[in-house]
């Protein structure tokens, strides 16, 4: 059995949904198809939630009506027969009535999660109606019956496995299942989600739970590329990556894959393929246990990073200093990405600065603190690159005229990270594209 996940743009237009139906019926392998919401829908639902939380019901209503109008025209192109159209209209009625009822209830966080869940519920139900019209045998598998997170908001593959087994067993003989990405139930049994972009994570968790032969992530570009195509002129697709390499790239800026989606696949050793719905024949990228080769594979950039420099003469020859520093970040549940130290100072980077003021205040009780916002982490990824002294030399040769604020080298064998001011990101990515890959 395999898992195929289609992102928002892959189901974003009626004709794209038609194409998805072709792609999932190309081979005879049993499969679970995971769908995102139609592109733009989750953003609209977020806005609706924001208007409601600000008690702006009029704007929320306008937004709900606009979304409904959009879906009304969507279904007219999606299906052809009056029977299917009627079914699709019934689905819209159910979900938009729900949103309109919410308008009249007082807003709370749990209700907001219900609002956010509407996108994936709509896309899967409408797609199922289209499949039915085409006579493609399948079953709709409600993700809320099996996808769950624990009290720490963490999904547990074993728990999901048990529930998905039960859900699948209700459809003996079926070979094709359609389910929602992103949505789940939390420890209280309420509707919740795996955070924005979480459909990839759903796919990977399902693939791990059913021990799938492969987890295919279908998007609108042909796999991971060696550099950011929005910044540099020329990029090349990467045919094969190891889980470790892919995890670094996904975390440090390669937008194609949700970073959390690597671990379930890696833990249960399920190959992940990144494929393109617009160009289904393209090879894409396969992510497996072993790296294909030694050497630099790609660079990626992560913006909106804050660097915090913590300086204290007490650090000199002292132990326990770093623990005190880390405890403060831990207390405010703020992950640290990069760290560099000297004898009297330590610099760390964070991408979530929600608690920055409190963190700085506590650090200042025993050190002098400097904060630099607007930084970018440039991550250079490849198998065993840290073992090749040549890589570091080439990196710095490519970066003439760049002020490198921090360097992290040797933490893992397949990553070198640099911190630069975001204003220099373009120069750095372009410099590395020519210096490391010979591309312009």
Q: What is the largest CA-CA distance in the chain?
A: 79
Least distance between ligand ASP and beta carbon 38 (Å): 9
Instruction: Check binding of 181 to ligand ASP (CB under 6 A).
Output: yes
Number of residues that bind ligand ASP (CB under 6 A): 12
If phi over 0 gives left and psi between -120 and 50 gives alpha, with beta otherwise, what is residue 79?
A: beta
Q: Which residues contact 431 (CB under 8 A, 6 or more apart)?
A: 398, 399, 400, 402
Q: Which of 14, 155, 198, 259 binds ligand ASP (CB under 6 A)?
A: 198
Element (H, E) at 97: helix 82-102
Least distance between ligand ASP and beta carbon 361 (Å): 33
If phi over 0 gives left and psi between -120 and 50 gives alpha, with beta otherwise, what is residue 78?
A: alpha
Report 276-305 residues binding ligand ASP (CB under 6 A).
Answer: none
Instruction: Check binding of 14 to ligand ASP (CB under 6 A).
Output: no
Q: For residue 195, what are its two tokens?
A: 């955070």
- The angle formed by the CA atoms of residues 23, 212 and 151, to the nearest 5 degrees, is 110
Q: Where are the extended beta strands (E) located within 239-337?
A: 240-242, 272-276, 285-288, 295-311
Distances (CA, A) of 279 to 26, 221, 241, 292, 318: 15, 8, 20, 24, 58
Least distance between ligand ASP and beta carbon 270 (Å): 18
Report 40-69 residues binding ligand ASP (CB under 6 A).
Answer: 42
Closer of 198 and 264 to ligand ASP (Cβ) = 198
Of these partners, Mg ion, ligand ASP, none, which one is at the site of residue 48 (CB under 5 to 8 Å by kind)?
none
Closer of 49 and 259 to Mg ion (Cβ) = 259
Of these partners, Mg ion, ligand ASP, none, which one is at the site of residue 37 (CB under 5 to 8 Å by kind)?
ligand ASP
Distances (CA, A) of 90 to 69, 71, 165, 334: 14, 12, 30, 45
Q: Point out which residues pair with 34 in neighbouring strands.
A: 5, 179
Of the ranges 92-100, 132-140, 190-198, 380-388, which one interacts with ligand ASP (CB under 6 A)?
A: 190-198
Instruction: Check binding of 196 to ligand ASP (CB under 6 A).
Output: yes
Least distance between ligand ASP and beta carbon 362 (Å): 33
Do the bridges between strand 240-242 and strand 285-288 make them parallel or antiparallel, or are there none, so unpaired?
parallel
Instruction: Check binding of 182 to ligand ASP (CB under 6 A).
Output: yes
Q: For residue 342, what are its two tokens?
A: 């000297």
Instruction: Check binding of 197 to Mg ion (CB under 5 A).
Output: yes
CA 288 to chain centre: 18
Of these partners, ligand ASP, Mg ion, none, which one is at the site of residue 359 (CB under 5 to 8 Å by kind)?
none
Q: Which of 8, 12, 259, 382 binds ligand ASP (CB under 6 A)?
A: 8
Q: Which of 12, 119, 284, 382 binds ligand ASP (CB under 6 A)?
A: 119
Least distance between Mg ion and beta carbon 255 (Å): 8
Instruction: Check binding of 37 to ligand ASP (CB under 6 A).
Output: yes
Least distance between Mg ion and beta carbon 196 (Å): 8
> What is the DSSP-derived secondary structure letter of residue 56?
-
Of these partners, Mg ion, ligand ASP, none, which one is at the site of residue 177 (CB under 5 to 8 Å by kind)?
none
Instruction: Check binding of 259 to ligand ASP (CB under 6 A).
Output: no
Q: For residue 340, what are its two tokens?
A: 């560099």
Q: Which residues contact 189 (CB under 8 A, 6 or more apart)?
A: none
Closer of 35 and 416 to ligand ASP (Cβ) = 35
Binding residues (CB under 6 A) for ligand ASP: these are 7-8, 36-37, 42, 119, 181-182, 196-199
Binding residues (CB under 5 A) for Mg ion: these are 7, 197
């Amino acid at each position: 059995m395999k898992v195929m996940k289609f992102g928002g743009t892959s189901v974003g237009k009626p004709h794209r949904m038609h194409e998805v139906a072709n792609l999932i019926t190309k081979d005879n392998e049993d499969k679970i198809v995971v769908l995102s919401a139609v592109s733009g829908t989750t953003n609209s639902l977020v806005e609706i939630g924001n208007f409601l939380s600000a008690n702006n019901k009029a704007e929320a209503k306008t937004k709900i009506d606009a979304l409904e109008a959009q879906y009304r025209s969507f279904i007219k192109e999606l299906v052809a027969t009056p029977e299917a159209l009627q079914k699709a209209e019934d689905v819209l009625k159910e979900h938009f009535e729900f949103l309109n009822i919410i308008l009249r209830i007082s807003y709370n966080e749990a209700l907001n999660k219900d609002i956010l869940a509407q996108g994936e519920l709509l896309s899967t139900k409408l797609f199922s109606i289209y499949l039915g019209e085409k006579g493609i045998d399948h079953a709709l598998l409600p993700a809320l019956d099996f996808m769950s997170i624990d009290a720490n908001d963490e999904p547990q593959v074993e728990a999901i496995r048990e529930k998905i087994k039960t859900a699948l067993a209700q459809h003996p003989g079926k070979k094709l299942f359609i389910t929602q990405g992103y949505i789940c139930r939390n420890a209280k049994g309420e509707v919740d989600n795996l955070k924005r972009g979480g459909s990839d994570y759903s796919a990977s968790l399902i693939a791990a739970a059913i021990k799938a032969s492969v987890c295919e992530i279908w998007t609108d570009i042909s796999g991971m590329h060696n550099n950011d195509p929005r910044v540099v002129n020329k990029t090349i697709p990467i045919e094969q990556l190891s889980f470790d390499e892919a995890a670094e790239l996904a975390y440090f800026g390669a937008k194609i894959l949700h970073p959390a989606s690597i671990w379930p696949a890696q833990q249960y050793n399920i190959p992940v393929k990144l494929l393109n719905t617009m160009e289904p024949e393209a090879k894409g990228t396969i992510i497996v246990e072993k790296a294909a080769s030694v050497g630099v594979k790609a660079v990626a950039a992560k913006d909106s990073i804050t660097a915090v420099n913590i300086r204290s003469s007490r650090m000199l020859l002292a132990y326990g200093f770093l623990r005190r520093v880390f405890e403060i970040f831990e207390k405010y549940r703020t992950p640290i990405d990069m760290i560099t130290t000297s004898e009297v100072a330590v610099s760390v980077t964070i991408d979530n600065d929600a608690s920055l003021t409190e963190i700085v205040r506590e650090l200042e009780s025993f050190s002098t603190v400097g904060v630099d916002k607007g930084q970018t982490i440039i991550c250079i990824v490849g198998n065993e690159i840290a073992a090749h002294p040549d890589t570091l030399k080439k990196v710095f040769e490519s970066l003439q005229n760049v002020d490198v604020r921090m360097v992290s080298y040797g933490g893992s064998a397949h990553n070198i990270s640099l911190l630069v001011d975001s204003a220099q990101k373009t120069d750095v990515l372009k410099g590395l594209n020519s210096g490391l890959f010979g591309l312009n």
